[in-house]
């Protein structure tokens, strides 16, 4: 099956700094990428949806100036948490959908391994 990678897997940063998380589709072209946030023992919360080459669509309540999303190519999307605060500490997961092909079905969505962010 298709693979989505995230980097870094975990990051610890000081309050006020910015952190960039990369999400890559390794063996397929991702037409749409999704960024989720997950709190302990809770389900995934969609933050934003991005299509290659266009601006991300943010969910209600998600600050677009704080969580900058760039989907510059069909295999890479980045999430930058700007001026991070301790309340931004969370598990961030990206997911991708690709063009239907021999190995990818329409509607099929692949998830990255997640990035655990801790802001001190």
Partner 1 sequence: KNEVEQSPQNLTAQEGEFITINCSYSVGISALHWLQQHPGGGIVSLFMLSSGKKKHGRLIATINIQEKHSSLHITASHPRDSAVYICAVKETSGSRLTFGEGTQLTVNP
Among residues 16 and 42, whose Cβ is nearest to partner 1? 42
Figure out which of the listed residues 11, 20, 32, 76 binds partner 1, where binding follows CB under 8 A: 32
In angstroms, what is the minimal distance from the CB of 99 to partner 1?
A: 14
Interface with partner 1 includes 110 (CB under 8 A)? yes
Which region among 21-29, 65-73, 77-85, 102-110 touches partner 1 (by CB under 8 A)? 102-110
What contacts 117, CB < 8 A, 6 or more positions away?
Answer: 10, 11, 13, 19, 21, 81, 84, 88, 89, 90, 91, 92
Rounded-to-integer distance, Cα 76 and Cα 72, Å = 6
Residues found near partner 1 in the complex (CB under 8 A) = 1, 32, 34, 38, 42-44, 46, 49, 91, 93, 95, 97, 105, 107-114, 116
């Amino acid at each position: 099956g298709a693979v989505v990678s995230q980097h870094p897997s975990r990051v610890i940063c000081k309050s006020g700094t910015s952190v960039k998380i990369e999400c890559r589709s390794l063996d397929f072209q991702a037409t749409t990428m999704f960024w989720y946030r997950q709190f302990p023992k809770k389900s995934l919360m969609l933050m934003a949806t991005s299509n290659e080459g266009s601006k991300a669509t943010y969910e209600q309540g998600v600050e677009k100036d704080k969580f900058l999303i760039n989907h510059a190519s069909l295999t890479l999307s980045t999430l930058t948490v700007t001026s991070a605060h301790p309340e931004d500490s969370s598990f961030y997961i990206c997911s991708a959908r690709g063009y239907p092909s021999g190995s990818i079905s329409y509607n099929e969505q692949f998830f990255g391994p997640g990035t655990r962010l801790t802001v001190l």
